Chains A and B, each alone.
Chain A
């Protein structure tokens, strides 16, 4: 394996875990959320998932072939990027959006930098943001969840965050939906991207990753904690204008972002102190964009911006070198 992930300064003890094992576990952790999206959105969600995943794998193989390097398909990172991308797209995405997203994620988000381990930004999020900016109509065309038994093909709706932004802009007041219906949001019974809908299924995957020690608690806790605390302060000041922290938690992509995107080993800080700073920064930016920005949802922008700050954070949090004493002034 050429692309090993080094997490701290030497000496190291190898725990025997390889890149493909890590990737496989993250994919397992995303299974519950994917199944929930299939239940609520049906066949369109399946086609988005399939096109994104297969597309990413094809583009990965293609770029390895073009660069004349050994195939890296087996490490599972391309498939994982595909699943994450699919979870970041609306279920009604046409096939060409999914395919273009896969090409952008792998070719521009990852391979131009030199492949896994060299990309400064999370490839799936790069693709999502490019698509969101390029095709605002298609990327915000939400279908209401229609469980397989309902009998409708598709009903369009707004996401809770989108509806909140519009209502606050038009009337200066929160809509009714921001004060109730939390159990629906928790289970995923609302409009949104594939992976935005079920907080519960995502948490299940996140807990599995924590249990398997693929991710540490620092980034997600700092990220979600910052959103909750700052959101709570705004809510306490003006509850008729700002939604409650619980609403922030269960709507939009906060849980998906905090557990699966902000913890990407390649694009986030390596020290625990760095992870806390990274998570707090993500939370702060997410909340600012949600409450004051032009877009209803800010998780993807927040994580990408903090990805850009990661080298700086790592430099700031460099661990003490063993045996070195601080210089006396």
Chain B
């Protein structure tokens, strides 16, 4: 029962993008399309699940004084795995995400979960927590990427929806578009949740 709760809290109640505002750098930088957002989200989820598990397993072995460097080494190992895997199998996405793949190491969501949850809980809850948080993060990136791609390119997941008569609003796939979209989205969520 509580396992389900550990999993589901990351999806909405403590959603990394919309509620905790963690990991804003990739959220704003790579969500120029739904595909990029999804790819980044899933890569982060993989790293988060793996690092949470290993940190939970090693939590009694890691001395408190050096725990942050230890967490970073664990996270960096899995980021390297993801980077090499993406370069091998999804090269286009690897090129599109660029520097932001190695930067998953410094995503504060991952370190935050290692510090706040995985280092204090056994393997199975840590796994559920990582999976929920990761999927919630992916959801946030996917929504943001979908909206920006729709207005900025007239397409979703590369499929042109609005036809050639639509003039794409370039600003939406440039950095200011990320801030404006996220701001309006947060305001909308506040409005909806404040009412209920």
Seen from chain A, the residues whose Cβ lies within 8 Å of a Cβ on chain B are 96, 108, 112, 130, 133-136, 138
Contacts and interface: CB of A to CB of B under 8 A. Distances in A.
B180 A108 contact: yes
Interface in B174-196: 174, 176, 180, 183, 187
B172 interface: yes
Interface stretch (B96-104, B105-113, B120-128, B163-171): B163-171
B171 A130 contact: yes
Interface of B: 167, 169-172, 174, 176, 180, 183, 187
A134 B171 contact: yes
A108 B181 CA distance: 11
Given A112-B183, A133-B176, 7 more contacts: A130-B171, A133-B171, A134-B170, A134-B171, A134-B172, A135-B167, A135-B170
Contacts of A112: 183, 187
19 contacts: A96-B167, A108-B180, A112-B183, A112-B187, A130-B171, A130-B176, A133-B170, A133-B171, A133-B174, A133-B176, A134-B169, A134-B170, A134-B171, A134-B172, A135-B167, A135-B169, A135-B170, A136-B170, A138-B167
A51 B174 CA distance: 27
Contacts of B183: 112
Nearest to B187: A112
A130 B171 CA distance: 7
Contacts of B171: 130, 133-134
B192 to A, nearest CB: 14
A144 to B, nearest CB: 23
Main secondary structure of the interface of B (DSSP, over half): helix
A119 B172 CA distance: 22
Contacts, number: 19
A17 B125 CA distance: 66
Nearest to A108: B180
Nearest to A137: B167
Contacts of B187: 112
Contacts of A134: 169-172
Contacts of B172: 134
A329 B187 CA distance: 48
A138 B183 CA distance: 27
Nearest to A97: B167
A112 B183 CA distance: 10
Contacts of B167: 96, 135, 138
Contacts of A136: 170
A288 B100 CA distance: 32
A7 B146 CA distance: 44
A113 B101 CA distance: 35
A201 B171 CA distance: 33
Interface centre among A96, A130, A133, A134 (most CB of B within 10 A): A134
A57 B188 CA distance: 23
Nearest to B152: A134
B49 to A, nearest CB: 37
Nearest to B151: A134
Contacts of A135: 167, 169-170
The 4 lowest CB-CB distance pairs between A and B, nearest first, are: A134-B171, A134-B169, A134-B170, A133-B171
Contacts of A133: 170-171, 174, 176
Contacts of B170: 133-136
Contacts of A108: 180
A108 B171 CA distance: 14
A309 B108 CA distance: 30
A134 B153 CA distance: 11
A138 B166 CA distance: 13
A133 B183 CA distance: 19
B187 to A, nearest CB: 7
A209 B87 CA distance: 63
